[in-house]
Structure formats: structure tokens, C-alpha cells
Structure 1
Amino acid sequence: MTQTDFDLFVIGGGSGGVRAARIAAGYGAKVGLAECDRIGGTCVIRGCVPKKLLVYASRFGDLFEDARGFGWARAPAMFDWAQLIANTDREIHRLEGIYERNLEAKGVRTFKTRARLDGPSAVKLADGERVAAGTILIATGGRPSRYGDIPGAAHIVTSDEIFALAALPKRIVVCGGGYIAVEFASIFAGLGVETTLIHRRDKVLRGFDEDLRDGLMEAMAARGIRLMMNESLVGVAQDVGCFRVALHSGGKIETDLVLSAIGREPATADLGLETAGVRTGARGEIIVDSFSGTTAKGIYAVGDVTDRANLTPVAIREGHAFADTVFGRKPTQVDHSLIPTAVFTTPELATVGLSEAAAQALGHDVDIYKSRFRSLRDMLSGREERMLMKLVVDRATDRVLGCHVFGVDAAEIVQMAAVALQLGARKADFDATVALHPSAAEELVTMREVWAPAPA
């Protein structure tokens, strides 16, 4: 083919790729998109959305128990895993359809097949068809990291397979200490599964504020999750009706399921990057500039495949910024410095801005404001869990550098706090805000006592 078939061809139908395709088409570009799996990508199909639905399911046990303190009598509750998965699948199918219809409405041509680069300005589809494009966007996302070359590694499942379990296991071993690991550990524990979390470090959630890390580990242990820190798997053997997990320390665990949740890596294998001169980094991530341009002219990349900030809203914003820049003639860069994020454990935690340690490492002289308390609801439910609110403040400027919340509705609270931090709010602005009473979030505007910060 000598003509340019598309102004833009997108490889990957996840959140970032779909957003870029739609916005570019809105600017009048002729757009094609290839996705070898399901439209919607990791977040919609096997990530954020179905996982959050499972999180909701896992919390009903608490609600049934807590209701007694408010005068409600309850019959014995029964949980049906198959029904939950069927209902979740139906919702994911609905969302997938919305994504497909939105692309169709914008005139984007979708190819349900694998695609790879075939030089600097062309793409080859799995059926052999070669398509030329003026601009190519790679948005293939990430994939679960496998546990490694250990005996019996084939018996270990990842988050890609967890939503297709035919039955709820009675026992599970979760490997890892990041978002995915602690969230699934909380989900299964909440559904009544005997849960063990194994992590090679001494604490979970590396990079989060230390108070949040400590608070979560304390709460997980109190909920019956067995935490095995500074530990790792060296083998998995299948036995009659179960698996036997061998540990680095020499111990063994009998379980019904082993889940590897040790992280994700950029999905750049077999994309033909070398044919176009697209450079990658040590983890296989595509190297990009501040406008998501790769080392090859006319080829761009957004989302988890670039390993910048691996969150769905970031991929969406990067995809939109790319389309604005290349097709809207509005050069747009994405600011990755102030991104709110949440971990949907039970209790959940959320954060925006700098942790105490990170602020100190950057040279800030900080004041720390903290409040740790039982929520009003728990006064009648009898639950002993504590919420935590924490602000990291630059002493010289009074600017709030970080907001960290652990407890019920942490994500909802931090989303709004993120607006204040984005606007450069000072601690005095928080203090001048009238408290919404009675609420947990009011603690963010009533804290006055300065805690001595931890040594840098």
C-alpha cells in the first residue's frame, strides 16, 4: 500500500488508547484501533472495575455484623460466589459495549486482532494485512508479572485469571505487597477465606506514608490475615485437593489457591518496536518525552506501557493530551506530580501529594498534623478499628504538601482534598474552612496540634 490508510492508528483498546482515538477522531482524524482482547483494557475487563465490585461484596459481612449495634436483627447470611461473578461479568459486558459504541459513534474503525509495528509508519495485523498510518499510538498497557522460575510456577494464578474462578477457595496464599496484593488479600478475607499474605519486604505498600503502611498492616492482622513479611516462595507442589507451598525460610503452607500479585510490567513483547527504532527501558517500558513522543518520529505511547504513573485516570489524561497535541494543535503536557490514589483494602486508604519521608527527602522542613480516632458509626457497632487523618505541611510556606487518610471512605475524602492541594492550599486555608459535622472528614479542617516529624 502506498497511500496512508489512517491519520492515526492506535495499538491497544484500553482506557488511554480509546480516549486518544475518540478525541483524535473528534478533531477530524481518520482513526483505526486494534485490540486483540476485549475493548476496555485491564481496568474495565480485569482490573479496577471488577475488583472494586468484589471489594463491595467483601464488605457486606461487616455491614451485617455492624447492624446489630443499631438494633437490627439478622438471619444467617449466605454468600454465593458464582452469582457475584455472573453479575460482575454482566456489568463488565455492559461497559465493554459502551466503549465499543463510543468508538463507533466517532467513526473509529476497530480491528479485533493483534497488531505490531512494521517499520516507522505502518502496522501489520495478525491476518497479514499491512496498514499505513501518519501517526501511531502504542497503548498496550501492562501485564501481571509472573512469580519467577520456581518449581510448580505453573500452578500460580495472577489477577488476570482470578475473576474466572469457578468456586471460592477455602484457603488462599497471596504473594506481593503492592496495591493488587493487599486488595485481593482483603477481598478474600472479607469473603471468609483463610488468607495468608507473603511479601519479600518488611512492610506492604512501598512508597506510601509510613503511618498508612503501619495502620494497614495492623488492621489486616486484626482481621485475621496472616502476614508473612521478609518471606518468599521457592516452590509450589500439587497434592490431593490442595497445593503445598514451600517457603524460603524452610516452612510450608497448605492452600487451595496461590495468587501472584507481585506487580505488573509494560506489555511491549512482540510489538515490533525494533523495526521502527522505538527505544525501551530496563523494565521494557517505552521511553517517551513530556508529550508522549517515542524515539521514533510519528510514534507515541501512553498509559502503563510507558511505566510513568500506572493508573487508569493518568492513561486517560495522557491519551487526551496526545490527541490535543498532535491533532488539536494544542500542545499539552500531563503533570504527573500531584496524582491522588487509593488502595481499596478494608479499611481503605488514600493519599495525594508527598509522604512525610518524601517531603523531608526533598528538603522541606515540615510540620505534621495527625488525628487517629474511632468513627462515630463504630461507637455503636463495637468495631475497634481506628481512622487516621494526616497532613504534611511545609513550615516555611504553610503549604499543604500531602494529605493521607486511612479508614472508611478514604478515597472519597482524598479526591476532594486533591482539589485543594492542586490549588496550592495552605494549612491556614484548611483551618479557615468550616467543619462539616458530624463527619470523619471534618478532622482535616480541625487539626491544630503539630506532631514532631520523624527523623529524616
Structure 2
Amino acid sequence: MAQYDYDLFVIGAGSGGVRAARLAAMSGARVAIAEEDRVGGTCVIRGCVPKKFMVYASEFAHHFKTSKGYGWTVEGASFDWPAFLAEKDKEIARLSGIYVRNLQNAGAELAHGKARLLDAHTVEVGKIGKRTADKILIATGGRPWRPADLPGVEHAISSDDCFHLPKLPKSIVIGGGGYIAVEFAGIFNGLGVDVTLVHRGPNVLRGFDDDVRSHVTEEMEKRGITVILAAQHTAIEKTANGFMNKLSNGHECESELVMLCLGREPYVEGLGLEKAGVKLNEQGAVAVDEYSRTNVSNIWAVGDVTDRINLTPVAIREGQAFAQTEFYDTPTSFDHEMVASAVFSQPPIGSVGLSEADARKQYGKVDIYLARMKPMKYAFAGSDERALLKLVVDCATDKVLGCHVVGPDAPEMIQMAAIAMKMGVTKHQWDATCAVHPTLAEELVTMREKHEPLGLGQVA
């Protein structure tokens, strides 16, 4: 008889956990995976996927406005929030069902319920009871963080709640300046909501290149979003018409809805990690090595619960690397360097590599190539929207250290840039690539003079 019920027990059926469970089961291992909510995790159920649908929906207002410059007349356009939600929910249900079927087809057993560790090899799942496993993988993701000491915090919703609002508010105050806050500011603004973004820092999107941060703020304000910096909520009070937002700068503003996007934290609550002896790091995340192994030899963790790079594709690759290492005898660790990211703000951002500030700290002398111009599409329509493209280059080696784009299709562009940069492309090799004209992307390979590049439409 086998010593354990399973070869692998996965806690959390998000992208990383599902990938690991599927691959392990396909190797012939006995695998079980537990999920307390819907299969699919943050990305499919309450994150990347439904949020992108909301971004798409909200962009039509800008498209309609731009279309007038091209001779189109769009009269009587209106947005039906309940109809959109119904279609969104249908698609999310379909995607979640695919995840379930893929697990079943691979031979993994799915257990619905919250799982907690009783010791290093024993898991208890809701009403299902105790199960034992040779190996255990923690993939529980993260949850929105809320300041418990903020008066009236119970009146605010989180980003998780935005996907199920019964109706659109007329006005909203969003607390936070990270990518989630910035993205939802653009979403609500595009859907006709009066948006105020309040952030305690000197600018939004901490961790991104400073030129990108300031450029996005300017463009958000052009679209009618009120951005209040160097301030944060001190209290949220219920009023007859909504809520009064009291801020640390002494200002007050009323809104129909308040949303706090003040960061996310690893979801370790109630997992029983202490009973298994699993250690957390200083940030409260599960501490792991390069192979995602914890300090307990038979327990691993992947995804946002480890707080390395909190992106869905990263969680998937970490889960895949774990399965390859432990069930296919192919030791594999995911390389967290040069991972591209996108912010689906309006306008959107694509970024890979180092910011100018980080590059100067690590490499000393760097060359900066920076272009700001009106995208052809919007310039023709009479809009004053501007795009930004920036390259950070190591002077000593000519290696491209960072690429940052703000403008139409920036997330699509950055995927291709990331491939070249992962391979160690130099600025000379980058420039040797012929441009595709007329595109915004061509500016990336036509910037020759530092800080004085040619803009789209200028004569070379």
C-alpha cells in the first residue's frame, strides 16, 4: 500500500496551481487540488481576464470620440452595465469550466473547500476531511489589503468587488496608485463615472520608470480623471448621497462609491503553515528558494503567495518548473530576470527591464533615448494625446537595459521587445532592424539621438 493518499496535493486552483497539478498528473502521479472558491484563481475569476473585458468596454467612449475626426457620426450611443456583466459572467464561467475539465482530463482530483495543513504531509479540506500527500504545493495567491485602523474602512469596496456592482456609480474615489488603482481609474472614467484618484506618494505606479509615471499621470488628467497626490484617506464617512472622503491634506470630497486599491498581500491566513513548520519572509510571503521549495523539504509554493513577481504568466511558469523538476526528473528553475509587464491603463503601458534610476544605480553611466509624440491615429483626429517611448542603454556594453512604452498597443509591443532583450540585444543590433512604417512601434528602432529622436511624421 502507498504511504500517502497522493503523490502531490496542491492548495489553490489558480493559474500556477492548475498548471503544476495538470503536469504532475499527466506524468502518472496521483494528484489532488483543493480550491475554496471557483477554479481559475485571481486571474480568471477576479483579475486579469474580467478586468481586461472591462478595459475593452470602457475604451469605446474614447474610440467614439476619435471616430468623429475620421468622419464618423455616432449618435445615441449608450452603455448597458447589467448586459455587460451578464456577458462577462458567462465568459468567466466558460473559462473556469475549461480549467476544471483540463484538470479532470489530466487525471487530477478536484476538492472544493478551504484546505489547511495539519503537518508537513497532512491536509484537511473543509468537510471532505484529512488527506495525506508525499509532496504539497501552496498556490493560494494574494488578497486585497485593507488598513484596519482607517475609520470607515468598512464602507469601501476592493478591486474584487468591482466585477459585481449592481449599478455603475455616478462618482468614485479610488485610493491607491498602483497598477490596479490606475487601471480601474481608466475603466470607470471610460464608462462615464466621475473619477478621483488619491495616492499618498509623489506619483503613481511606484517601481516604474519616472518618465512613464509622470507621462501616464498627465494623460489620465487629460481624460478627465482628477489625480490627488501626496495625500491619503484619514476617514470615510457615510452621507445621505454616498460617502465623504477625508484626506490627509485637509481636503474633503464626496463620492457615491469608494474603492481602496492599497496593495495585495499573500493569502496565508488559515493555511496552518505554522503546524507544518513553513516559514514566511519579512513581507509575510512564503519563503522559497530558486526551485520554489520552502524550508520544509516536501513543501513548495508558487505564484503571488511567494510575492516574487506577481503576474499570472510568472505563476504558470513557476508551477511548470516545479512539475518538471519533481515529476519529470528535469531540474528547472524559472528565471525572474527580464520579465515584461503591462499596465492596462488608458493609455496603456508596456515595460521590460530596468528603469532609468535603477539602471544608473546598477550600471553607472547609461544612455537614454526618449521620444514623445502624438500617435498618428490621434493626431489626425485633432487629439492632444501623446505617446512616450524610452530606451535605457548601458554605455559600456551597448546592451539595452530597459524599454518602456506608453501609448496605443504598448502591451503588444513590449512582448516582442522582451524577446530581444532576454537574448541580450545591443542598441546597435536594435537599430539594425528596419522599421515598419507607419507605426508607433517604428519609433523604437529609429531613435538615434539621445533625447532628440525623430517623431512620427517628421522628415528624417
Classify the TM-score, shorter chain. Answer: over 0.9
Does the 8 A contact of 1:8 with 1:31 survive in 2? yes
Question: What SS class does the counterpart of residue 314 from structure 1 fall into?
Answer: helix
User: Counterpart of 1:204 in structure 2: which amino acid?
Assistant: V
| Aligned mates of 1:83, 1:52 — CA distance in 2 | 16
Does the 8 A contact of 1:122 with 1:132 survive in 2? yes
Does the 8 A contact of 1:392 with 1:401 survive in 2? yes
User: Counterpart of 2:172 in structure 1: which amino acid?
Assistant: I
| Aligned mates of 1:141, 1:44 — CA distance in 2 | 12
Matches within 5 A, 1:171-320: 171-320=171-320
Are 1:350 and 2:343 matched, yes or no?
no
Are 1:23 and 2:19 matched, yes or no?
no
Question: What SS class does the counterpart of residue 160 from structure 1 fall into?
Answer: helix
| Aligned mates of 1:272, 1:264 — CA distance in 2 | 20
| Aligned mates of 2:281, 2:426 — CA distance in 1 | 38
Are 1:336 and 2:336 matched, yes or no?
yes
Does the 8 A contact of 2:369 with 2:391 survive in 1? yes
Identity %: 52
Instruction: Give the match for residue 77 of structure 1.
Output: 77
User: Counterpart of 1:24 in structure 2: which amino acid?
Assistant: A
Q: What are the ranges of 5 or more consecutive residues in structure 2 without an aligned counterpart?
A: 453-460
| Aligned mates of 1:427, 1:2 — CA distance in 2 | 57
| Aligned mates of 1:157, 1:108 — CA distance in 2 | 35
Are 1:168 and 2:168 matched, yes or no?
yes
Does the 8 A contact of 1:50 with 1:88 survive in 2? yes
C-alpha displacement of 1:26: 1.5
The one-character-per-residue Cα deviations of 1:211-269 (angstroms, maximum 9, x if unpaired) are 10010010111111111111111111112131111112222111110001011000001
Question: What SS class does the counterpart of residue 103 from structure 1 fall into?
Answer: helix
| Aligned mates of 2:166, 2:147 — CA distance in 1 | 23
Does the 8 A contact of 2:143 with 2:264 survive in 1? yes
User: Counterpart of 1:321 in structure 2: which amino acid?
Assistant: A
Question: What SS class does the counterpart of residue 362 from structure 1 fall into?
Answer: helix
| Aligned mates of 2:283, 2:88 — CA distance in 1 | 33
| Aligned mates of 1:206, 1:15 — CA distance in 2 | 26
Matches within 5 A, 1:32-47: 32-47=32-47
Does the 8 A contact of 2:363 with 2:394 survive in 1? no
Query: Runs ≥4 in structure 1, deviation > 3 angstroms?
Result: none
User: Counterpart of 1:345 in structure 2: which amino acid?
Assistant: S
C-alpha displacement of 1:363: 2.6
Instruction: Give the match for residue 137 of structure 1.
Output: 137
Question: What SS class does the counterpart of residue 118 from structure 1 fall into?
Answer: strand
Instruction: Give the match for residue 109 of structure 1.
Output: 109
Instruction: Give the match for residue 391 of structure 2.
Output: 391
Change (3 A) 1:69 1:128: closer
| Aligned mates of 2:349, 2:167 — CA distance in 1 | 29
C-alpha displacement of 1:372: 1.1
Matches within 5 A, 1:364-383: 364-383=364-383
Instruction: Give the match for residue 414 of structure 1.
Output: 414
| Aligned mates of 1:53, 1:129 — CA distance in 2 | 38
Does the 8 A contact of 1:347 with 1:408 survive in 2? yes
Question: What SS class does the counterpart of residue 378 from structure 1 fall into?
Answer: helix
TM-score (structure 2 length as normaliser): 0.97
The one-character-per-residue Cα deviations of 1:159-217 (angstroms, maximum 9, x if unpaired) are 11111100000000000000100000111011111100011111001110111001001
C-alpha displacement of 1:128: 5.7
Change (3 A) 1:276 1:2: farther
| Aligned mates of 1:180, 1:281 — CA distance in 2 | 24
Does the 8 A contact of 1:176 with 1:199 survive in 2? yes
The one-character-per-residue Cα deviations of 1:301-333 (angstroms, maximum 9, x if unpaired) are 000000000000000000000000111111111
| Aligned mates of 1:256, 1:75 — CA distance in 2 | 28
| Aligned mates of 1:124, 1:359 — CA distance in 2 | 47
The one-character-per-residue Cα deviations of 1:421-440 (angstroms, maximum 9, x if unpaired) are 01111111111111101111
Question: What SS class does the counterpart of residue 89 from structure 1 fall into?
Answer: helix
Instruction: Give the match for residue 68 of structure 1.
Output: 68
| Aligned mates of 2:128, 2:69 — CA distance in 1 | 65
| Aligned mates of 2:67, 2:2 — CA distance in 1 | 69
User: Counterpart of 2:428 in structure 1: which amino acid?
Assistant: A
Does the 8 A contact of 1:147 with 1:260 survive in 2? no
| Aligned mates of 1:128, 1:343 — CA distance in 2 | 40
Instruction: Give the match for residue 457 of structure 2.
Output: none
Does the 8 A contact of 2:371 with 2:451 survive in 1? no
Instruction: Give the match for residue 148 of structure 1.
Output: 148
| Aligned mates of 2:127, 2:52 — CA distance in 1 | 36
Question: What SS class does the counterpart of residue 450 from structure 1 fall into?
Answer: coil
C-alpha displacement of 1:2: 8.2
| Aligned mates of 1:251, 1:57 — CA distance in 2 | 32
| Aligned mates of 2:138, 2:88 — CA distance in 1 | 29
Question: What SS class does the counterpart of residue 188 from structure 1 fall into?
Answer: helix
Question: What SS class does the counterpart of residue 119 from structure 2 fall into?
Answer: coil
C-alpha displacement of 1:148: 3.1
| Aligned mates of 2:71, 2:56 — CA distance in 1 | 23
Instruction: Give the match for residue 6 of structure 2.
Output: 6
Instruction: Give the match for residue 423 of structure 2.
Output: 423
Q: What are the ranges of 5 or more consecutive residues in structure 1 without an aligned counterpart?
A: none
Q: How many residues align?
A: 452
| Aligned mates of 1:5, 1:326 — CA distance in 2 | 17
C-alpha displacement of 1:130: 0.9
Change (3 A) 1:241 1:2: farther
Instruction: Give the match for residue 405 of structure 1.
Output: 405
Matches within 5 A, 1:50-61: 50-61=50-61
C-alpha displacement of 1:282: 2.4
Question: What SS class does the counterpart of residue 204 from structure 1 fall into?
Answer: coil
| Aligned mates of 1:5, 1:355 — CA distance in 2 | 48
| Aligned mates of 1:72, 1:250 — CA distance in 2 | 46
